[in-house]
Structure 1
Amino acid sequence: MKSFTFWNYTRVVFGLEAEKELPSYIPLLGKKVLLHYGVGSIKKIGLYDVVVKALKDAGVEWLELGGVKPNPRLSLVHEGIDLCRKEGVTGILAVGGGSVIDSAKAIAAGVKYEGDVWDFYAGKAQPKETLPVGVVLTIPAAGSETSGSSVVTKEEGQLKRGITYDILRPQFAILNPKWTLSLPWYQTACGISDMLAHVMERYFTTVPHVELTDRMAEGVMRTIIHQAYRLKENPDDIDARSEIMWAGTVAHNDLLGTGREGDWTSHGIEHEISGIYDLAHGAGLSIVFPAWLKYVLPKRTEKIAQFAHRVFGVDYYFDNPEETAREGIRRLEQFYRDMGLPVRLKEAGIDGSRIREMAEKTRDGKRPVGSFVQLSTDDIEHILTLALE
């Protein structure tokens, strides 16, 4: 196990009436708040009115910026930064899913930075100070409600890039599973894929003696899969939604990565797919992860076989761990299919014409990517080709 420092200061308020606590937390954002949200779904489900009342009860001023889309755009981030500076905003309340929260974090960091906020995502600078951010979560998926991560898409060049800094963690997160009841199934399934991938990125490591976090990660993955089938059968099962919502937070609050080195290659590859084709992140991950596992299997057979046995219940063939591993990958693919997600690029309407471009963008001129297995541009091209059809 590697040495580590674990620090996650986000206060999580979870429950079927969690938003009642919101007025007592809003003052952490200062006296003038930017209410940041998506394309209007919070108004349809009645959450907007609840949040506005909480802002009034907290006695703060506020202004609004909606319009966040999946794969949040840099142009709206720039608009938010200009608005916050002009109006003297002291904090941001993000109401929505990962895209809204990531956009809010980018705005919060950009307001305090003299240069272009994209400098952070391009690796040219690091945020030193941000506006405080609070969250009311509506989509369990990205885990951005307690993480230090933010992913933004720059329209020019179709570049999707992410950053991770502790300073970006929200001050508080309000989690009420009832606000997820109106989510379309496909959006729910994409969120399930996203949180599962967050665990797998940490799980597949070469760091030895990580039995505790192995078992913790396996438990979270098994829970996600089990509850996903329950939810598919009955989308109104509030207990299953509660389990899924908390699993999404635990998957990305960094606890499962303590003492380990994650891989994150699959996320990097997927960012290029969704950056170009605007595919839902979870749908891209259900395509990439099985292809990545197939490609790295010859070099990391035992760990993938352990995953197959402990997470999917595949019989462990000690004389043929490769077959155990391959069966685990097959069951992972079947899980995605059962959830209604694509497992091939062509199933998502994507052809092979830009595979080389995506492979090169994943590398982005860097050294080989990945820690579980280091990969070159050619390796990534092979993975995308495996994912094609």
Structure 2
Amino acid sequence: MDNFTFYNPTTIDFGTDKEQQIGQHLGAHGIKKVLLTYGSDRIKRDGLFATVTKSLAAQGIAFVEFGGIVSNPVISTVREAIALARTHQVEAVLAVGGGSVLDSSKAIAAGVLHEGDVWELFSREASIQAALPIFSVLTLAATGSEMNNGAVVTNEDTKEKFAIGSPHTFPKVSIVNPALMQTVSRDYLVYSAADIIAHSIEGYFTAKVQPRFQSRLVEAVINTVIETTEILLADPADYDARAQFAWASTQALNGLTYAGTAGFSYPNHMIEHSLSALFNVPHGAGLSVIMPAWMKWYHSRNREQFQRFAKEIFGLETAEQGIAALEKWFDKIGTPTRLSQLGITEADLPATIENVLGNAKWFGIAEIFTRDVVSRILKSAL
């Protein structure tokens, strides 16, 4: 087990009606004016916006709203929100939504206090020195952004999808009420399942040091996701399954499953970021295509761990059987497993490969993911 420091300052307030207490949480941090960020007007139609703003008003907290944040969030929207936040001199950012809203909000919170353009923080021309306090009310479980310091945003001009992360961008408090997620569409439920599994397997398969205890944590997350996804597909109103799915999502990327793990990388995310940046495919849908293709290429480099995956997740014996079982499960639940299902053809591969090679440099794994390797993985996913 490698040396590590585990740090996670985020308070998770989990359960039914917890969103009614968001004003108290902001008030406890001395916040008097907040930028309230969200995606679509669905939160207004279903009453969540009214619940949240009523809770803010009860604590004497003013808000400035900024809606319209899209899936695969873009830097131009972040820049607009930063300008609004500066104009109104807000003291914090409150995200009400899923991972895209949370990621944008982290970028906004850091960008408000950065003297240059916010994209400099993503391109690593500058580092995050401070950020406004961040709070969230989660409406979709997938990214784990409610309890980590990472944020991923696309630059629509350069077609680059990069990330930031800093001790300053951990949310202070995140509300996780599984009941708020019952209206998530079938498609986004299965895309979310793929996203959570991808978060779980990156270190599990690629780490040079992977303690068995950490492997067991990862396997618990994946088994929970598989079990609860199938329950929710049959009964979207099953609160217990929804709650376990949401908590598994949080655990997959809050740092706990990676404690004591060393020498790992994020190749599936590295490749998928190009699909999202170039073709605006849902992140989880892209991951469910990339994971089996990458696993078929990579498994011989860590055959023992792939055999463990096959046994502990699917009750099978060989690495190849485990990979096939995962791909079959993705097909079963209805998340894509081929690039063609995303509308991506062989004619799109040259531009995609070029974009992935740029990502490989950013991720620091360009020596492994050469043009030939990336081409082989993507062609096998057609």
Superposition TM-score tier, normalisation by shorter sequence: over 0.9
2:198 partner letter: A
Structure 1 CA distance, aligned partners of 2:337 and 2:224?
21
Per-residue deviation, 1:370: 7.2
Superposed counterparts of 1:220-369, under 5 Å: 220-261=221-262, 262-314=264-316, 316=317, 324-364=318-358
Report the 3-state secondary structure (helix = DSSP H, G, I; strand = E; otherwise coil) of the residue aligned with 2:143. Answer: coil
2:235 partner letter: N
Report the 3-state secondary structure (helix = DSSP H, G, I; strand = E; otherwise coil) of the residue aligned with 1:36. Answer: strand
Per-residue deviation, 1:300: 2.0
Q: Which residue of 1 aligns with 2:203?
A: 202
- Structure 1 residues 235, 370: closer, same or farther in 2, change over 3 A? farther
Structure 1 CA distance, aligned partners of 2:55 and 2:289?
41
Q: Which residue of 2 aligns with 1:381?
A: 375
- Structure 1 residues 337, 42: closer, same or farther in 2, change over 3 A? same
Q: Which moved more, 1:275-284 or 1:43-52?
A: 43-52
Q: Which moved more, 1:232-241 or 1:161-170?
A: 161-170
Summarize deviations over 1:301-347 as a string: whole Å, max 9, x none.
22111111111111x3xxxxxxx111101110111112211100001
Say whether the 8 Å CA contact 1:202–1:263 is kept in structure 2.
Answer: yes
Superposed counterparts of 1:185-196, under 5 Å: 185-196=186-197
1:379 partner letter: V
Per-residue deviation, 1:366: 5.6
Per-residue deviation, 1:160: 1.3
Say whether the 8 Å CA contact 1:29–1:92 is kept in structure 2.
Answer: no
Q: Which residue of 2 aligns with 1:74?
A: 75
Per-residue deviation, 1:251: 0.6
1:285 partner letter: L
Say whether the 8 Å CA contact 1:147–1:166 is kept in structure 2.
Answer: no
Q: Which moved more, 1:162-171 or 1:96-105?
A: 162-171
Q: Which residue of 2 aligns with 1:16?
A: 16
Q: Which residue of 2 aligns with 1:30?
A: 31
Q: Which moved more, 1:233-242 or 1:132-141?
A: 233-242
Report the 3-state secondary structure (helix = DSSP H, G, I; strand = E; otherwise coil) of the residue aligned with 1:239. Answer: helix
CA-atom RMSD, angstroms?
1.6
In the alignment of these two chains, the number of paired residues is 379
Per-residue deviation, 1:268: 0.9
Q: Which residue of 1 aligns with 2:54?
A: 53
Identity %: 37
Per-residue deviation, 1:183: 1.1
Structure 1 CA distance, aligned partners of 2:302 and 2:124?
30
Say whether the 8 Å CA contact 1:308–1:327 is kept in structure 2.
Answer: yes
Structure 2 CA distance, aligned partners of 1:233 and 1:208?
39
Structure 1 CA distance, aligned partners of 2:16 and 2:360?
46
Q: Which residue of 2 aligns with 1:157?
A: 158
Say whether the 8 Å CA contact 2:210–2:260 is kept in structure 1.
Answer: no
Per-residue deviation, 1:369: 5.8
- Structure 1 residues 336, 370: closer, same or farther in 2, change over 3 A? farther
Structure 1 gap ranges (5+): 317-323
Q: Which residue of 2 aligns with 1:218?
A: 219
1:108 aligns with 2:109: yes
Per-residue deviation, 1:367: 5.2
Q: Which residue of 2 aligns with 1:321?
A: none
